């Protein structure tokens, strides 16, 4: 009787471990992927400030370029898609 309950215990522990592993694997496989857009988020403001000359009295304002990661293969594609949704009106130096 003691031997039988030990065997049942072993089987039960093995089944629970295997089931937990499979459950976790399925859960991870179906969890949301990290957003591809997160790769396009700009460097931190501190990095932006450090990479440009200081302009005492004024503060840096984010531009579209700050949200594109230089060197990324997606940069140009993303930039183009950004511009296509932009308005037809433009301001430039007259």
- Where does this chain bind another protein (CB under 8 A)? 37, 40-42, 48, 52-53, 55-65, 67, 79, 82-83, 86-94
Q: Whose Cβ is closer to another protein: residue 17's or residue 76's? A: 76
In the complex, the smallest distance separating the C-beta of residue 48 from another protein, rounded to whole angstroms, is 8
Smallest gap from Cβ 31 to another protein, in A, equals 21
Q: Which residues of 24-53 are buried (b: 16+ CB within 10 A; e: fewer)?
A: eeeeeeeeeeeeeeeebeeeeeeeeeeeee
Closest contact distance (angstroms) between CB of 77 and another protein is 14
Say if CB 83 and CB 65 are below 8 A apart: no
């Amino acid at each position: 009787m003691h031997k039988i309950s030990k065997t049942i215990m072993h089987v039960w522990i093995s089944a629970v471990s295997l089931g937990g592993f499979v459950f976790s694997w399925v859960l991870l496989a179906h969890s949301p992927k990290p957003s591809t857009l997160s790769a396009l988020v700009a460097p931190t403001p501190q990095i932006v400030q450090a990479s440009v000359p200081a302009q005492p009295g004024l503060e840096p304002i984010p531009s579209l370029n700050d949200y594109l990661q230089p060197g990324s293969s997606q940069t140009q594609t993303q930039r183009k898609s950004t511009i296509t949704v932009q308005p037809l009106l433009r301001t430039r130096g007259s």
